[in-house]
Each structure stands twice: as structure tokens, then as C-alpha cells.
């Protein structure tokens, strides 16, 4: 038993098998095609509980063709990054928020519980082992992808009696590139990303496979991402796989940074939470979780009350939005002109924390 009383594996039991064929190090501006030398795997079964965690050479998994993740999408993941600071120290950004979100998702997927701190320590050990893979550039980082899947060898639709928790690492380049211009979004209510009572507020793999078709339709309309709308009133919910923020003068004439509330259809982003906490600490404008509809956005645009719209997520951190295609109209959003600097100011403050320039208890040293 771990401290929290949850039967769990323990980092102290880690077994490490080193790779005898380390690969040449490179990073991947395209995201997610280059992997480091090692991976962490932890097996679970209903009869025997958790096995000892294992770090071993990166390689293929062997899965039974009937395994439940392949048939019924009993599968979930997380995404976080480790950053190399100016001081050459490696830092994780608020990793316990990812651990608790992963636990919540596992519960929703009927996968077994684990001790979050023990898991984080195993991840830290993996990163430590593959630390030379963390890019030295100021824009690069090492992406950490914890994954959890049902591996029971049965076609029965039921709780998986076997599961595999594993972690792989990818060196990645920068997503936030102020030169890259502003994101264009396709807003059409014909597809729904998430619904009340569904799984949109959990990082389940199935949510993302289901979104692809709409993503390609957005591309057919010349847009980069989908702006996911919800309900009869076309509520603005998320942009692609990012949370969304509107910085504007609201209906009451107040300067406000607004994002939709966590009411079951919004993924509780670590970046989202950090942006709200950071800007609330500044105390310079109202920071609100509230419903935002397309008609509110359209009238605010007409009255020139919109300052900025941006998406947030670990991959890109902050991504400014420049256009929204809605009901045949291409709405222009002010983006990266001299008067719209909030996105870059937030991005800089978060980056300064991640790179250790601003001391913060939001980082965990590897």
C-alpha cells in the first residue's frame, strides 16, 4: 500500500534495463515522430495488482489482438513537457496537475488507480535517464506522453482485468512562433467534440480520433483548426485541442479575460488554469469563467470590443487566433498588432517560469 492507501507500484521498486544501442539525438519540429532511447512500462492485473515499474529500451509493445483498448478504446493519455533552463537544469511544469487529471481519466475509463507521486517519480527517473534528449535550444523541449490502456485478452465489454501504463518521450521544437502568424478557425455546429455526461473533460484517446473528420473539413474550408461550438446558442468551447480565451471589453464595459467554465465539456487544461491564476495575480482586469456564444463574439467584433482571442495548451502554450469562419463569414480577430500583446506577455511569463528565469513553485526539478 502506498501512502494514500491506494494499492500502487512504487518508484523504489524500479527495474532499469539500459539500451545497448542509443540513437543519435535529434529533435522533431513536426512533433511526435522521434522518440528517446528508453520507455517506462508498468503492468497491472486484477488478480496480482501492480507489477514493479520497468524502464527498458524503447520498442514495440506486444498486444493480444482481442485486447480491450484496440476494440473499445479503453485508452487514455497525458501530455506534459520538460524544459531545459538557462542554468541547464531540467524542469517539469506543474506535473502533479497532469497526474491528478490522469487519475481522474483512469477512473472514468474504469482503469485501476495508482499513486500519483510514485508515478511522477518513475517519470522523473525516465527523464533523468534520457536527459541528453532534452533540446538545448530555448524553443525546444522534451514532450512526455504517459499512456494507459486496457490489455485484457477478451472481447467482452467490461472493465479491463489487465492494463498497461507506459510513458514515452519525444524531443520537440517550438510551437509558439510569433512569426508563424495567427490561427484560422472553422466554426460550424455540425460536429460536436464533447457533450454533457460524455468524456470531453477527460483525455481519452477516443475523443481525438473522433475529431479528425471535422479537422479535415476545416482544412477543406482553408482553416487550420476547428472552433468547437456547443448547443443551440453556439457556445464557444475549445479550439482544436486547445482551451480558448477571449480578451475583450465585455457587455458591461469591463476589460475581461474570459474562458468557458469546466462544466463537463471543457478539458481542464494545465495551461488554462495557469493563465487564469497568473492574470488574476496581476489584478489588472477581470478574469472570468463564463459562457461565450458566437453571437456575443460577433456583436463584440462589430463594436470593436474584442482585443484578442487565443488558444492554450502544452503543445503551443499560447496560440493567437486571427480568423474565424462562421456562417459563411470570415470574421477578422485583432491578432499580434501593437495593441494586442496579452498573448505574448502571458507566453513570456510562463516561459520564464518553465526555463527557471522566474523562480516558482510551479516547476519540479528533474
Q: Which residues bind ligand PLP (CB under 6 A)?
A: 79, 203, 238, 241-243, 267, 269-272, 312-314
Question: b/e per residue, 73-100, with b = 16+ CB within 10 A?
Answer: bbbbbbbbbbbbbeeeebbbbbbebbbe
Nearest approach, Cβ of 241 to ligand PLP (angstroms)? Answer: 4
As a whole number of angstroms, the distance between CA 292 and CA 263 comes to 13
As a whole number of angstroms, the distance between CA 268 and CA 246 comes to 17
Q: Which is nearer to ligand PLP, 55 or 239 (CB)?
A: 239
Nearest approach, Cβ of 242 to ligand PLP (angstroms)? Answer: 5
Residue 43's closest CA among 61, 57, 70, 20? 61
Nearest approach, Cβ of 306 to ligand PLP (angstroms)? Answer: 21
As a whole number of angstroms, the distance between CA 266 and CA 282 comes to 25
Residue 228's closest CA among 240, 218, 213? 240
Nearest approach, Cβ of 230 to ligand PLP (angstroms)? Answer: 13
As a whole number of angstroms, the distance between CA 255 and CA 265 comes to 26
- Distant-in-sequence, close-in-space partners of 273: CB < 8 Å, separation ≥ 6: 97
Q: Are the C-beta atoms of 314 and 80 separated by less than 8 Å? A: yes
Nearest approach, Cβ of 310 to ligand PLP (angstroms)? Answer: 12
Q: Which is nearer to ligand PLP, 267 or 309 (CB)?
A: 267
Nearest approach, Cβ of 47 to ligand PLP (angstroms)? Answer: 33
Q: Which is nearer to ligand PLP, 111 or 144 (CB)?
A: 144
Q: Which is nearer to ligand PLP, 292 or 300 (CB)?
A: 292
Q: Which is nearer to ligand PLP, 8 or 312 (CB)?
A: 312
- Distant-in-sequence, close-in-space partners of 155: CB < 8 Å, separation ≥ 6: 66, 71
Nearest approach, Cβ of 316 to ligand PLP (angstroms)? Answer: 9
Q: Which is nearer to ligand PLP, 306 or 317 (CB)?
A: 317
Q: Which is nearer to ligand PLP, 163 or 315 (CB)?
A: 315
Q: Which is nearer to ligand PLP, 72 or 77 (CB)?
A: 77
Per-residue CA distances from 21 to 39, 90, 127, 192, 270 (Å):
14, 24, 18, 45, 35
Q: Which is nearer to ligand PLP, 95 or 334 (CB)?
A: 95
Sequence-distant contacts of 253-256: CB under 8 A, at least 24 apart: 254/285, 254/286, 255/284, 255/285, 255/286, 256/285, 256/286, 256/287, 256/288
Nearest approach, Cβ of 327 to ligand PLP (angstroms)? Answer: 24
As a whole number of angstroms, the distance between CA 79 and CA 340 comes to 29
Nearest approach, Cβ of 290 to ligand PLP (angstroms)? Answer: 18
Phi and psi for 231 in degrees, rounded to 5? Answer: 80, 175
Q: Which three cell numbers stand for residue 185?
A: 478557425
Q: Which three cell numbers stand for residue 93?
A: 511544469
Amino acid at each position: 500500500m502506498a501512502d494514500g492507501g491506494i494499492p500502487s507500484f512504487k518508484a523504489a521498486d524500479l527495474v532499469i534495463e539500459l539500451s545497448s544501442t542509443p540513437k543519435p539525438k535529434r529533435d522533431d519540429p513536426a512533433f511526435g515522430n522521434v522518440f528517446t532511447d528508453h520507455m517506462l512500462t508498468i503492468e497491472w492485473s486484477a488478480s496480482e495488482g501492480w507489477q514493479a515499474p520497468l524502464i527498458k529500451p524503447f520498442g514495440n509493445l506486444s498486444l493480444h489482438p482481442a485486447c480491450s483498448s484496440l476494440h473499445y478504446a479503453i485508452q487514455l493519455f497525458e501530455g506534459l513537457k520538460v524544459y531545459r533552463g538557462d542554468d541547464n537544469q531540467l524542469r517539469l511544469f506543474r506535473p502533479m496537475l497532469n497526474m491528478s487529471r490522469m487519475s481522474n481519466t483512469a477512473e472514468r475509463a474504469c482503469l485501476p488507480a495508482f499513486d500519483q507521486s510514485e508515478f511522477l517519480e518513475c517519470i522523473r527517473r525516465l527523464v533523468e535517464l534520457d536527459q541528453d534528449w532534452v533540446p538545448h535550444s530555448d524553443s525546444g523541449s522534451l514532450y512526455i506522453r504517459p499512456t494507459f490502456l486496457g490489455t485484457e485478452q477478451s472481447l467482452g465489454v467490461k472493465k479491463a482485468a489487465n492494463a498497461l501504463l507506459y510513458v514515452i518521450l519525444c524531443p520537440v521544437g517550438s510551437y509558439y512562433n510569433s512569426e508563424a502568424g495567427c490561427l484560422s478557425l472553422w466554426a460550424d455546429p455540425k460536429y460536436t467534440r464533447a457533450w454533457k455526461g460524455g468524456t470531453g473533460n477527460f483525455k481519452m484517446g477516443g475523443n481525438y480520433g473522433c475529431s479528425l473528420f471535422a479537422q479535415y473539413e476545416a482544412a477543406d474550408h482553408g482553416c487550420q483548426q476547428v472552433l468547437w461550438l456547443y448547443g443551440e446558442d453556439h457556445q464557444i468551447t475549445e479550439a482544436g485541442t486547445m482551451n480558448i480565451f477571449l480578451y475583450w471589453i465585455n457587455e458591461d464595459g469591463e476589460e475581461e479575460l474570459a474562458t468557458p467554465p469546466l462544466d463537463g465539456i471543457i478539458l481542464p487544461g494545465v495551461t488554462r488554469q495557469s493563465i487564469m491564476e497568473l492574470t488574476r495575480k496581476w489584478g489588472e482586469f477581470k478574469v472570468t469563467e463564463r459562457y461565450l456564444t458566437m453571437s456575443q463574439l460577433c456583436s463584440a467584433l462589430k463594436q470593436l470590443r474584442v482585443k484578442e482571442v487565443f488558444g492554450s495548451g502544452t503543445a503551443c502554450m499560447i496560440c493567437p487566433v486571427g480568423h474565424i469562419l462562421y456562417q459563411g463569414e470570415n470574421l477578422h480577430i485583432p491578432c499580434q498588432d501593437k495593441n494586442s500583446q496579452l498573448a505574448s506577455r502571458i507566453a513570456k511569463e510562463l516561459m520564464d517560469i518553465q526555463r527557471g528565469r522566474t523562480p516558482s513553485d510551479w516547476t519540479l526539478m528533474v
